[in-house]
Structure 1
Amino acid sequence: MSDLILYTNPMSRGRIARWALEEVGARYEVRVMNYADSMKGDDYLSINPMGKVPALQHNGSVITECAAICAYLGDAFPDAGLAPAAADRADYYRWLFFAAGPVEAAVTNKNAGFIPSDEQGRMFGYGSYDQAIDVLEAAVAKHDYIAGDAFTMADVYVGSQVIWGTQFGTIPQRDAFKAYADRLTSRDAYKRAGELDDALMETNQLA
């Protein structure tokens, strides 16, 4: 058994974890989980009781949630240079978890047709969808990458939100988002990850 196992489905957020793994250059095993059966089976629920992918198993420990997987891999494979030094992590953590929290909630709620009133917005971490998107736009426009001038694991997660969101219409097409997405999608690791997941989709292994 490999000491690094990715449980995923190519039609899921598992693509984020795959990209992160390709960025660090680690060798890993892939186990494809199907929505209709194995993802809800007892064996996988013992790994992730939520019955969702991705999950990462590394040396016997389990990491779930894409933002956590990205941050974990940045620390677990320091030679890849994808996590800033501890003293330089303010923006790294700030925008990684902003995307995982307020942006994710704002986008999914809007996509589900739930628009909080002004009063409700005071209780929601994202305030309003428009506010969350405006803040995200300003963040990606400030530097070439979300935490400064160098690509980090935060860009894998934040970038995935921007790339998918603008592609599927859950995040508006804006110049700053397009420029940021273009920088990220030109990366070799991003291309490799996409090719591997696209190949899985063509094998007819998925339920």
Structure 2
Amino acid sequence: MTDELVVYTNPMSRGRIARWMLEEVGRPYRAEILGFGAPMKSAAYKALNPMGKVPTLVHGDMVVTECAAICAYLADAFPEAGLAPDRSSRLRGPYYRWLFFSAGPLEAAVSNKAFGLEVPPDRERAIGYGNFADAMDTLEYAVGRNEYLVGDRFSAADVYVGSQILWGLQFGSIEKRPVFEAYGARLAARPAAKRANEIDNALIAEMQKAG
């Protein structure tokens, strides 16, 4: 596809994940910055994303929301970037496994913990992540075996899982285990991650200056 890439985002949101992924892809894109509140809840924007949240990716006539989906979509749309295992590769299984573990059980566990919501021990089997400790142990298993989630190859799964870890370490919602800190530092050092952070941090500074 040669259609323009447009990401609707805010530098103080999960949109930072989409920007990082776009920087890894290395194709030109345009960022539309939306303020929280009315801009995200406008009829025009909700026609793209009924949730009224960011990010949203528009690629020609394709609209993709949800950060994990955006990462997976971009990796497949631009295979030359090498951000996903080949469709016929046996590595495709663990790639999907950890990408969607992070989008599902991990995010639910971390969000509930952050808001002080605890699952009663006798109800743990009724919720996807069981309990917070199990989610953290599984995350450590995922990132602690190799340099990256899919063997020794960086992928879109690392963008998404790495973003969860880096955010969680910064704000205290993920335990500061040595494995998490080493993995996060490895990803934060990537040139694309640095570029994405510089862009979004500069936008935040502009917003703060404007009042």
Q: For residues 144-193 of structure 1, what are the alpha-carbon distances to aligned partners after superposition, in whole Å with 9 as ceiling and x for unaligned?
A: 00111110000000000111111110000011001101110000000000
After TM superposition, where is structure 1 displaced by more than 4 Å over at least 4 residues in a row? Answer: none
* 2:83 aligned with 1:82: yes
Q: For residue 100 of structure 1, what is the amino acid of its counterpart?
A: A
Q: For residues 30-86 of structure 1, what are the alpha-carbon distances to aligned partners after superposition, in whole Å with 9 as ceiling and x for unaligned?
A: 100111221111110101000000000001110000000000000001110111012
| Inter-partner Cα distance in structure 2 for 1:105 and 1:119 | 18
Which one of 173, 177, 186 corresponds to residue 176 of structure 2?
173
| Inter-partner Cα distance in structure 2 for 1:101 and 1:27 | 30
CA contact (8 A) 1:24 1:77 kept: yes
Q: For residue 5 of structure 1, what is the amino acid of its counterpart?
A: V
* 2:167 aligned with 1:188: no
Q: Where does residue 143 of structure 1 map in the other structure?
A: 146
| Inter-partner Cα distance in structure 2 for 1:178 and 1:107 | 17
SS where residue 85 of structure 1 aligns?
coil
* 2:6 aligned with 1:18: no
Q: Which runs of 5+ in 2 are unaligned?
A: none
SS where residue 56 of structure 1 aligns?
strand
| Inter-partner Cα distance in structure 2 for 1:204 and 1:52 | 19
| Inter-partner Cα distance in structure 1 for 2:149 and 2:203 | 30
Q: Where does residue 103 of structure 1 map in the other structure?
A: 106
Q: Where does residue 157 of structure 1 map in the other structure?
A: 160
Identity of aligned residues (%): 55
* 2:21 aligned with 1:28: no
Q: Where does residue 200 of structure 2 map in the other structure?
A: 197
User: Number of paired residues?
Assistant: 206
CA contact (8 A) 1:3 1:60 kept: no
| Inter-partner Cα distance in structure 2 for 1:127 and 1:204 | 40
SS where residue 63 of structure 2 aligns?
strand
Q: For residue 57 of structure 1, what is the amino acid of its counterpart?
A: V
| Inter-partner Cα distance in structure 2 for 1:79 and 1:59 | 19
- 1:204 Cα deviation (Å)? 2.2
Q: For residue 35 of structure 2, what is the amino acid of its counterpart?
A: N
SS where residue 207 of structure 2 aligns?
coil
| Inter-partner Cα distance in structure 2 for 1:24 and 1:129 | 33
| Inter-partner Cα distance in structure 2 for 1:45 and 1:120 | 36
Q: Where does residue 69 of structure 1 map in the other structure?
A: 70
Q: Where does residue 38 of structure 1 map in the other structure?
A: 39
Q: For residue 148 of structure 1, what is the amino acid of its counterpart?
A: G
| Inter-partner Cα distance in structure 2 for 1:204 and 1:108 | 27
